[in-house]
């Protein structure tokens, strides 16, 4: 599984530019699904099974990044805007990579002055792309953050675990299903989640599911002096109950918890203050879709060192497989 995680998290794919990630996922799932298509917005939609309840499972392919706005004359510096929710406190010294392979380093005005004691405004940051040879990156070029995948025991550390690890959960559940699903399941690898859940919204309209399940990361409450939250790294799959965009129907929470209990899968309840997933827009598609979410606990979200636990990832895979491998009566 780690080899697949490495391939996906090290891939380049800011919101709106997910084509490289999509190609990797297409190669992984081609022999695991009954049919596969790419919709007008770029979502990869894969179907397995027929009959029973129509289910949409969604994990987003995109990652946060930056968009080059303006090249400072004769300097090799770029001004930029965010693609998704950047954390200004984590930007200085980070590396970004453009699609052409050029690497830039993010600098900030007065880094050893006020930059040491306060968080600068985004307008104070710039990207150094100077190469000494007059090379240039044009305004309008998107970039993703760059950091290699690493492991520390059962812990995996990488950029873009949000939400490539959700994509891994979907792929591995597909592998376990072996195209034998008693329901009609549409696995959606969605685009543009980080800029407004756009891909899942259009995919849900097109699929018109009867049940929605999002796969995404969630914060943890086990860091020093951090938020009060019951989710812990290593505590198992997190079954969402509530976030700022979704109140999960109690019947779905019970269905997931009972299934986990029956199969001996370790789970914990997730109540997230701040943050949304694809389930937020699936639930309001057409006449409404009862929706839930299986979450992968993750520390240091929206940084280049997002950290998850392989035990939790496996628990999410096992739970999703168990839910989809039996007839659904909700």
Catalytic residues: 193
Question: Mapped to the 3 state alphabet, what secondary structure does 83-151 carry?
Answer: ECCCCHHHCCCCEEEECCCCEEEEEECCCCCHHHCCCCCHHHEEEECCCCCCCCCCCCCEEEECCCCEE
Query: How many whole angstroms separate alpha carbon 116 and alpha carbon 180?
Result: 56
Residue 125: asked if its preceding bond is cis (omega within 30°), the reply is no
Using an 8 Å Cβ cutoff, are 92 and 111 in contact?
yes
Q: Following DSSP, what letter does each residue of 23-66 receive, concatenated? A: HHHHHHHTTT-SEEEE-TT--EEEEE--SS-EEEEEEE--B-EE
Query: How many whole angstroms separate alpha carbon 235 and alpha carbon 302?
Result: 21
Query: How many whole angstroms separate alpha carbon 298 and alpha carbon 29?
Result: 25
Residues 74-90, buried b or exposed e (16+ Cβ, 10 A)? eebbbbbebbbebeeeb
């Amino acid at each position: 599984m780690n080899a697949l995680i490495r391939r996906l998290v090290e891939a380049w794919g800011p919101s709106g530019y997910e084509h490289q990630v999509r190609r990797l996922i297409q190669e992984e799932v081609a022999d695991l699904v009954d049919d596969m298509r790419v919709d007008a917005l770029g979502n990869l939609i894969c179907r397995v099974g027929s009959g029973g309840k129509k289910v949409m499972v969604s994990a987003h392919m995109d990652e946060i990044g930056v968009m080059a706005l303006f090249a400072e004359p004769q300097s090799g510096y770029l001004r930029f805007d965010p693609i998704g929710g950047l954390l200004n406190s984590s930007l200085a010294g980070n590396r970004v990579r453009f699609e052409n392979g050029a690497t830039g380093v993010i600098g900030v005005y007065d880094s050893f002055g006020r930059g040491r004691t306060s968080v600068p405004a985004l307008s104070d940051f710039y990207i150094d792309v100077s190469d000494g040879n007059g090379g240039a990156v044009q305004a309008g070029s998107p970039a993703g953050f760059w950091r290699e995948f690493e492991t520390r025991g059962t812990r995996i550390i990488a950029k873009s675990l949000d939400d490539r690890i959700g994509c891994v959960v979907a792929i591995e559940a597909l592998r376990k299903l072996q195209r034998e699903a008693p329901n009609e399941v549409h696995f959606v690898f969605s685009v543009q989640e980080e800029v407004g859940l756009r891909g899942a919204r259009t995919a849900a309209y097109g699929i018109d599911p009867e049940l929605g399940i999002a796969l995404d990361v969630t914060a943890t409450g086990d860091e020093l002096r951090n938020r009060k939250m019951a989710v812990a790294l290593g505590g198992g799959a997190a079954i969402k109950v509530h976030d700022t965009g979704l109140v999960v129907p109690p019947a779905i929470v019970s269905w997931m918890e009972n299934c986990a209990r029956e199969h001996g899968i370790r789970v914990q309840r997730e109540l997230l203050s701040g943050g949304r997933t694809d389930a937020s827009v699936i639930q309001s598609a057409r006449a409404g879709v009862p929706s839930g979410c299986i979450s992968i606990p993750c520390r240091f979200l929206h940084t280049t060192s997002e950290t998850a636990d392989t035990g939790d990832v496996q628990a999410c895979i096992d739970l999703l497989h168990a839910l989809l491998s039996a007839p659904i009566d909700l």
